[in-house]
Chains A and B, each alone.
Chain A
Amino acid sequence: MSSMRSGTFALRSEQDVVLGRQAVRKLALECGLRLVDQTKLVTAVSELARNAVIYGGGGDMDWAIVEEGARKGVQLVFRDNGPGIPDIKQAMTDGWTSGNGLGLGLAGAKRLVDQFDIQSAPGQGTRVTITKWN
């Protein structure tokens, strides 16, 4: 997998979540993602970016347009220095929330993308990597 273009996007407020979504929609268009896949990716971004803002106290989103063989895709890394997740398995369960949301964001985001990786530990912040191929 090789990276063609990349950058970083700051996630500090609710407004940044909206702007981040718009930025990712542009990237998805560039990679030739179909409308359904665009919508899925943008929705996953909305969930993860909001998690970084609300639970992580703000963070960053690294984006990259990646290539593997003939296929192109968007890879995104959501990083925050928040309190971290003590039990990742529990956090990935549908309906479980530490705040007052619906508890579907993390697990839902995983189902919306092609590759999903989460790394987190208490006090270490959280790092979620997702990839969506065309």
Chain B
Amino acid sequence: MSILKQATIDAIKQNESALLTAWIAGLEQEGSLSDNRITRDEVSAQAKDFLRLLVAASAVGDAADLSRGEWAESRQFLELLSRSRAQRGLDSQHTARFIFSLKRPLFDQLQTTYAGDPKALSNEVWAVSELLDLLGMHTIRAFQKSREEVIMRQQEELLELSTPVVKLWDGVLALPMIGTLDSQRTQVVMESLLQRIVETGSDIAIIDITGVPTVDTLVAQHLLKTVTAIRLMGADCIISGIRPQIAQTIVHLGLDLGGIVTKANLADALALALKRSGLTVTRAE
């Protein structure tokens, strides 16, 4: 249990504006204010609000245990602050510096307050330092969490983006694959393709691998399984987008795609699909 002394809290309260000025000056010196993604007024307002919360909470709360209810408001404030900075693309250092740069002015203030009592001074410096460290760490944790949320959302969006099954013609579906094909993605791809085959009653599916940079044995295995599943459903499959370097690699790797119809590009695959459906494309007179 380490509660700040009442004298410390009073000193902070009485010298609030002086502390704020020194704090902002410190931030300015470190270059935290010269970033155009955040304005000086914003930082000043945040500093003012935070100092108020700090005084209010440390008057009643244990400075060594931030998980207690008295600190809820301070924690929430810092979480919001971290999130807004993460969204603007500011780094974690910038966010943590906001808290840590309050140390200097607070220590200076304590030195004046406890000028005649070195023992009390060292105790209070320790308590304040520990408190600010905890708050700073909480800020970094919150910052990381909001960054992770952003990454997770992007990953989900990417997974969804990367598996669009498009209808090229009546009875002809196309699946343009992009990126790396791992087991999880192949599963998603296969499911959505098979589902669409049933829904649309298509009998030709074109898998385009122009956007797949590396075709190794695992990718080939996934493709073979997908083709087999499509055939089991009574539809036919064409693989397009086999670039020259991929073709040569497949040969050296010893992969046997003998039973599968492949084409160099999507246009050739569509032409073949139309031909098989008994359709011809002619120029309008």
List A residues at the B interface (Cβ < 8 Å): 14, 18, 21, 35-36, 38-40, 42-43, 46-47, 50, 94, 101-102, 104-105, 107-109, 111-112
Contact = CB atoms under 8 A, between A and B. Distances in A.
Contacts of B215: 43
A39 B180 CA distance: 14
A101 B218 contact: yes
Interface in B140-185: 180, 182
Contacts of B246: 39
A35 B245 contact: yes
A21 B246 CA distance: 15
Nearest to A103: B217
Interface of B: 180, 182, 213-218, 220-221, 244-246, 248-249, 252-255
A104 B213 CA distance: 19
B245 A102 contact: no
The 5 closest A-B pairs by CB, nearest first: A108-B253, A39-B245, A46-B216, A111-B252, A36-B245
Nearest to A42: B214
A114 B249 CA distance: 14
A113 to B, nearest CB: 9
B252 A94 contact: no
Given A39-B246, A43-B253, A104 B214 contact: no
Contacts of B244: 36
Given A36-B244, A111-B254, A43 B220 contact: no
Given A18-B180, A46-B214, A46-B216, A104 B249 contact: no
Contact of B214 (A21, A35, A36, A111): A21
Contact of A14 (B182, B249, B253, B255): B182
Contacts of A46: 214, 216, 218
Contacts of B252: 40, 108, 111-112
Contacts of A50: 216, 218
A36 B254 contact: no
A102 B180 contact: no
A103 to B, nearest CB: 8
A34 to B, nearest CB: 9
Contacts of A21: 213-214
Nearest to A94: B254
